[in-house]
Amino acid sequence: MPTGEALRALAQADPQLGDAMDRLDAYPGFPRGYLARGSHFQAVARSIVYQQLAGAAANTIYGRVCALTPGSRFPNAEECLDLPTEAFRDAGLSAAKTRAVADLATQCRSGTVRLRAVGRMSNREIVEMLSGVWGVGEWTAQMFLIFRLGRFDVMPAGDLGVREGLRILDGLAERPGQREVLRRAERWRPLRSVATWYLYRLCDEAKRASA
């Protein structure tokens, strides 16, 4: 968790964000819950499964893949390589995501992806490493940094939720582009991940209000 002093400094640096921080739930810190369980491999694989899927559908497919091996967790890298492609496809995983999980497992086994070393790596190094996996882009790597590793200063400027949250925060007519998001986010350093979390909560608040 960031210190209380650091959170107060963030709110003071951006009064509009500060108002949102006062109104919304307190930043919980990460990792927590399911994000803190299992291996780094399983955390990245979970992100792959959940890419571009609604929560209910993703939960169903994820549960089916977890059921392919003993225990309640996602198969580990070696288990993924031992399972036939058809098993993932029958569980509902798309061909592209099946390929991505397989490539992640292959690169973990070969040592190209060194997930056990991420604690000694910079954010940029981790993004570059994970982006080398087929089907794993910058966004997935950034989510891993924020929600699995608990890195405080990550700015997923291309994320639709971040862009919509900033539109709400600043009362804009249209969602800002990535460059505008990055410029706006400079005042949130070194807690851009915290600001990101609040932008997501603004989106949630808007959805509840419109329901």
- Show the tokens assigned to 179: 């460059």
- Show the tokens assigned to 165: 């949250």
Instruction: State the catalytic residue, choosing from 82, 90, 153, 159.
Output: 159
First to last CA, the chain: 32
Give the whole-angstrom CA distance, residue 27 versus residue 65: 31
* Residue 92: exposure state from Cβ atoms within 10 A (0-12, 13-18, ≥19): middle
Largest CA distance in the chain: 54
Active site (annotated) includes residue 159: yes
Give the whole-angstrom CA distance, residue 113 versus residue 85: 21
Active site residues: 159
